[in-house]
Amino acid sequence: DTGVSQDPRHKITKRGQNVTFRCDPISEHNRLYWYRQTLGQGPEFLTYFQNEAQLEKSRLLSDRFSAERPKGSFSTLEIQRTEQGDSAMYLCASSLDQGWRTQYFGPGTRLLVL
Partner 1 sequence: GQQLNQSPQSMFIQEGEDVSMNCTSSSIFNTWLWYKQDPGEGPVLLIALYKAGELTSNGRLTAQFGITRKDSFLNISASIPSDVGIYFCAGQQTGNTGKLIFGQGTTLQVKP
Binding site for partner 1 (CB under 8 A): 4, 6, 31, 33, 35, 40-45, 48, 55-56, 58, 60, 91, 93, 95, 100-108, 110
Determine contact, residues 42/34, Cβ cutoff 8 Å: no
Q: Which is nearer to partner 1, 12 or 55 (CB)?
A: 55
Q: Which is nearer to partner 1, 68 or 105 (CB)?
A: 105
The burial of 54, by beta-carbon neighbours within 10 Å (0-12 exposed, 13-18 middle, 19 or more buried), is given as middle
Cis bond upstream, residue 8 (ω within 30): yes
Task: State in angstroms the smallest separation of the CB of 16 from partner 1.
Answer: 26
